Amino acid sequence: MEDEKMSKKSFYVTTPIYYPSDNLHIGHTYCTVATDTMARFKRLQGYDVKFLTGTDEHGQKIQTVAKEKGLKPKEFLDGIVGNIKELWKALDISYDRFIRTTDEDHKEIVQKIFQKLYDKGDIYKGFYEGHYCTPCESFWTETQLEDGKCPDCKREVKFAKEETYFFRLSKYQDRLLELLQRDDFLQPESRRNEMINNFIKPGLEDLSVTRSSFDWGIKVPFDDKHVIYVWIDALSNYITALGYLTGNDEEFKKYWPADIQFVGKEIVRFHTIIWPAILMALDIELPKKVFGHGWILFDDDKMSKSKGNVIYPEPLIELYGVDALKYFLLREFSFGNDGSYTNEKFLQRLNADLANDLGNLVSRTIAMIEKYNDGIIPQPTKDGEFDDSLKELVVNAYAKVEDHMEKVSFSNALEEIWKVISRANKYVDETAPWILAKEEENKERLNTVLYNLAETIRVVSILIRPFMEKTSDNILRQLGLGESKANWEDIKEWGKLQSGLQVQKGEPMFPRLDIKKELENLVKTNQEFIAKRRGQNQEEEIVEDDSITIDDFDKIDLRVAEVIKAEKHPDADRLLVLQLKLGEETRQVVSGIAKYYSPEDLIGKKVILVYNLKPVKLRGIESHGMILAADKGKNLL
């Protein structure tokens, strides 16, 4: 299989499948952008790439959150997954399949996998008792707890006992130790040492792989009182997506084993202990590499919705473009370590690297070709001082970038590219084309300088392509080239740019930013996005806690209205759609009071309406205003 895989130059890369109990933030974006960049890099090198991402949609937490929102689990998930797909679209993520563990093909194959493991004797029935963390959906022993709390999320746990099926994880302890002692399977090294010292050497216990206390999951094929737990359900997605255990397994034969699986450090244990053990039990080859990246922190604190410090990618894309965000994520942080995000760092990096370095180089190169050679890329005819050092750096860059990418060192790969950009900017100052242009006798030398700059930005446009495809296209377009000219092989030698092309100057790719002004703008835009998203997800208006003045109160137009019609919202159990009569006018209002009133109870009632509230859509239905109510204990009046 290995010979066949290499002869076809196939490459299989995966993100973890994300748990969609809420909308994804910049931390999730980090992993997906990195995986996408690796996929794009391998495609540019000529590989046949399969890029998988998706969502892990079963479990108690999903069922609980959906119930709290008055929705069925799948109904709740469809909204969140829709937002995730929209985010990946905004980020131009080039995945080949988005798998959901609620997909029918996935569910069928997971049942076959479970049956196969059971028939082999690697799954057996028993009872489990231990400390259970609902948010992490994990059982912990007494010794694994930290201060009596979950060692992963630091939340409270509860003691639970239930009938379960176990996977014989302990059976594979020696083989797992041997696997993790290799230096090529799990990276970075710090993660490898953690798995060996904290989990393997203390001894592995058999793993509970079913639950009977909830039913939102894939049923055990021979015991429908149990649902298959996350370990087998979610982890198996990497092979179910390829058609494993189906009659149509061509993709499985072609792409498996995975070349690299990207995961956050908090789930390295699942992907380098439990996942390999399942594959060993199935007699399947193991992934070639698992890379456990660090977290993006906010001012050195873990990003958390409860702390109110979550940064979402959508506002950053809206204000500064997708390439700016991608560049920052992969350049600012060393991928294997934690990194601290601040808006100041983001904006300063945009100014320094994108506006001053890259944007400036492209802009003045194209401008000088237009000014000094009528917009035509000239023929180089007269070499001079500084040329060789520039050319040497440019033609050697691809090999250094390749080396860093093989080591999954995105920041170092970009640093190598920026060395070329910085050298080219210095070359402009060294050769001073504006001085050469003053004397006709320097025309040949000027032409060579202009060509060298144009050739350099052509190479740069291809080097940055896996990281910033839109910017790459922009540069190629300004050089008079098309996307077909983005060929990795064409940057391994100097002089591939054709003379005589007409350049096409564009708008500045990365305008210089006023940091102070943009900080205010960014905070405001992020707050507006959070407010909008909260309104969509919670199906209710957002009321700010800030005090108001009598002048603010005077702006509110309150009117008495009569309910003439009421019915349940078709897409939300907590909402009622009301038709209100105000004199000759009829108003439609969506209100979250279905828990307290049935539609028929409201007909004929007089209510207070906030008449001049800005209209909003709640779960797809427009609401013109808000009715007021007061609570008394657990009742609404």
Averaged pLDDT for residues 524-543: 65
Q: How confident is the model at residue 530 (pLDDT cuts 50, 70, 90)?
A: confident
Q: Which residues fall within 8 angstroms of residue 213, CB to CB, at 6 or more apart? A: 60, 160, 162
Averaged pLDDT for residues 99-113: 97
pLDDT of residue 366: 97
pLDDT of residue 161: 81
Amino acid at 211: R
Instruction: State yes or no: pLDDT of 560 exceeds 70.
Output: yes
Instruction: State yes or no: pLDDT of 7 exceeds 90.
Output: no
The chain-wide mean pLDDT, for the chain, equals 89
Residue 408 and residue 288 in contact, taking contact as beta carbons nearer than 8 Å: no
When computed from its CA atoms, the radius of gyration of the chain, rounded to whole angstroms, is: 29
- Cα dihedral 459→464→465→467 (10° resolution): 170
Instruction: State yes or no: pLDDT of 301 exceeds 70.
Output: no
Instruction: State yes or no: pLDDT of 376 exceeds 50.
Output: yes
DSSP-assigned letter for residue 197: I
Per-state percent for the chain, helix, strand, coil, to nearest 5: 45, 20, 35
pLDDT of residue 633: 52
> For 7-11, 159-163, 288-292, which range has the lowest pLDDT when averaged over its residues?
7-11
pLDDT of residue 543: 34
Instruction: State yes or no: pLDDT of 538 exceeds 50.
Output: no
> Beta strands 558-568 and 218-220: pairing type?
unpaired
Q: Whole-angstrom Cα distance, residue 47 to residue 262?
A: 18
pLDDT in tens, 394-437: 999 999 999 999 999 999 999 999 999 999 999 999 999 999 99
pLDDT of residue 554: 58
pLDDT of residue 175: 97
Q: How confident is the model at residue 155 (pLDDT cuts 50, 70, 90)?
A: confident
Averaged pLDDT for residues 468-474: 96
Q: Whole-angstrom Cα distance, residue 536 to residue 83?
A: 11
Q: Whole-angstrom Cα distance, residue 476 to residue 473?
A: 5
Q: How confident is the model at residue 128 (pLDDT cuts 50, 70, 90)?
A: confident
Q: Whole-angstrom Cα distance, residue 587 to residue 440?
A: 77
Q: Which domains, ranges and CATH numbers included, belong to the chain?
A: 10-122+168-293 (3.40.50.620), 355-502 (1.10.730.10), 550-636 (2.40.50.140)
Q: Whole-angstrom Cα distance, residue 149 to residue 158?
A: 9
Q: Whole-angstrom Cα distance, residue 211 to residue 226?
A: 5
The answer to the question of whether 31 is labelled as a binding residue is no
pLDDT of residue 54: 97
Q: Which residues fall within 8 angstroms of residue 42, CB to CB, at 6 or more apart? A: 11, 13, 49
Residue 435 and residue 298 in contact, taking contact as beta carbons nearer than 8 Å: no
pLDDT of residue 316: 92
Please write down the long-range contacts of 469-472, taking CB distance under 8 Å and 24 or more positions apart: 469/40, 469/92, 469/323, 470/92, 470/321, 470/322, 470/323, 471/323, 471/358, 471/509
Nearest to 32, CA basis, from 414, 322, 353, 404: 322
> Beta strands 626-627 and 606-610: pairing type?
antiparallel
pLDDT of residue 119: 97
Find how far residue 586's CA is from the centre of its chain.
44
Residue 589 and residue 625 in contact, taking contact as beta carbons nearer than 8 Å: yes
Q: Which residues fall within 8 angstroms of residue 393, CB to CB, at 6 or more apart? A: 419, 420, 423
Instruction: State yes or no: pLDDT of 472 exceeds 90.
Output: yes
> For 120-124, 492-496, 510-514, 522-526, which range has the lowest pLDDT when averaged over its residues?
522-526
pLDDT of residue 309: 60
Residue 444 and residue 370 in contact, taking contact as beta carbons nearer than 8 Å: no
Percent of the chain with pLDDT over 90: 63
Percent of the chain with pLDDT over 70: 92
Q: How confident is the model at residue 300 (pLDDT cuts 50, 70, 90)?
A: low
Nearest to 273, CA basis, from 262, 286, 283, 255: 286
Exposed e or buried b per residue across 453-486, where buried means at least 16 C-beta atoms within 10 angstroms of its C-beta: bbbbbbbbbbbbbbbbbebbbbbbebbbbeeebb
Residue 163 CB burial class (10 angstroms; 0-12, 13-18, ≥19): middle
DSSP-assigned letters across all residues of 559-586: EEEEEEEEEE-TT-TT-EEEEEEETTEE
Q: Higher-confidence residue: 131 or 361? A: 361
Residue 138 and residue 131 in contact, taking contact as beta carbons nearer than 8 Å: no
pLDDT in tens, 83-93: 899 999 999 99
Q: Whole-angstrom Cα distance, residue 60 to residue 79?
A: 18
Q: How confident is the model at residue 632 (pLDDT cuts 50, 70, 90)?
A: low
pLDDT of residue 271: 97
Q: Whole-angstrom Cα distance, residue 139 to residue 130?
A: 6
Amino acid at 484: S
Instruction: State yes or no: pLDDT of 138 exceeds 80.
Output: no
> Residue 188, preceding bond cis, omega within 30 degrees?
yes
> For 64-78, 526-540, 607-621, which range has the lowest pLDDT when averaged over its residues?
526-540
Instruction: State yes or no: pLDDT of 634 exceeds 90.
Output: no
Q: Please identify which residue in the block is written with the tokens 């049942």.
A: 111
Instruction: State yes or no: pLDDT of 321 exceeds 90.
Output: yes
Averaged pLDDT for residues 104-129: 96
pLDDT in tens, 13-42: 999 999 887 778 888 889 999 999 999 999
Please give the angle made by the CA atoms of 634, 560 and 600, to the nearest 5 degrees: 55
In SS3 terms, 502-544 reads as ECCCCCCCCCCCCHHHHHHHHHHHHHHHHHHHHHHHHCCCCCC
Please write down the long-range contacts of 532-535, taking CB distance under 8 Å and 24 or more positions apart: 533/23, 533/83, 533/312, 535/616, 535/618
Residue 244 and residue 112 in contact, taking contact as beta carbons nearer than 8 Å: no
Averaged pLDDT for residues 235-259: 96
Q: Whole-angstrom Cα distance, residue 67 to residue 155?
A: 21
Adjacent-strand bridge partners of 560: 608
Q: Whole-angstrom Cα distance, residue 217 to residue 602?
A: 38
Q: How confident is the model at residue 4 (pLDDT cuts 50, 70, 90)?
A: very low
Residue 146 and residue 131 in contact, taking contact as beta carbons nearer than 8 Å: no
pLDDT of residue 204: 94
Q: How confident is the model at residue 540 (pLDDT cuts 50, 70, 90)?
A: very low
Instruction: State yes or no: pLDDT of 3 exceeds 60.
Output: no
Nearest to 41, CA basis, from 406, 520, 542, 497: 406
